Amino acid sequence: SIRNCELSGLKDLDQSQDYVRGKIRDYMNHLISLGVAGFRVDAAKHMWPADLDAIFGSLDNLNTDHGFASGARAFIFQEVIDTGKNIRNYWEYHC
């Protein structure tokens, strides 16, 4: 599977686990607290869309102390290269 493996020798994180999701969420929320307004997710097609939705859906709103409107959400850009040969479709990845 392109989603449950070591990709190019890199270890896989089991993002279906609450602990792993929490660590990723906490790190991203820390960056949001510093004023970060968006994230680029490299090789998103190698991650389960439901796991990404759970993580992104739990992120804090953007920090109003940095000039963002109340309730503003982080911009999430997911890199999904669809060569037409994939078993996954780019439209599975949305935010």
Per-residue model confidence as pLDDT tens digits over 31-87: 999 999 999 998 788 888 899 999 999 999 999 999 999 999 999 998 877 666 655
The average pLDDT across 14-41 equals 97
Please name which of 58, 63, 40, 49 lies closest in space to residue 16, comparing C-alpha atoms.
Answer: 49
Position 14 confidence tier, pLDDT thresholds 50, 70, 90:
confident
Is a pLDDT exceeding 80 seen at residue 95?
A: no
Is residue 18 annotated as part of the catalytic site, yes or no? no
- Using a 10 angstrom Cβ sphere, with 0-12 exposed, 13-18 middle and 19 or more buried, the burial of residue 44 is buried
- pLDDT (0 to 100) of residue 86: 59
> Residue 61 has what pLDDT?
99
The reported pLDDT for the residue numbered 90 is 55
pTM of this structure = 0.80
92: annotated active-site residue:
no
Q: Which of 12, 26, 79, 82 is catalytic?
A: 79
Place of tokens 């290269």: 81
> Which is the catalytic residue, given 42, 65, 82, 92?
42
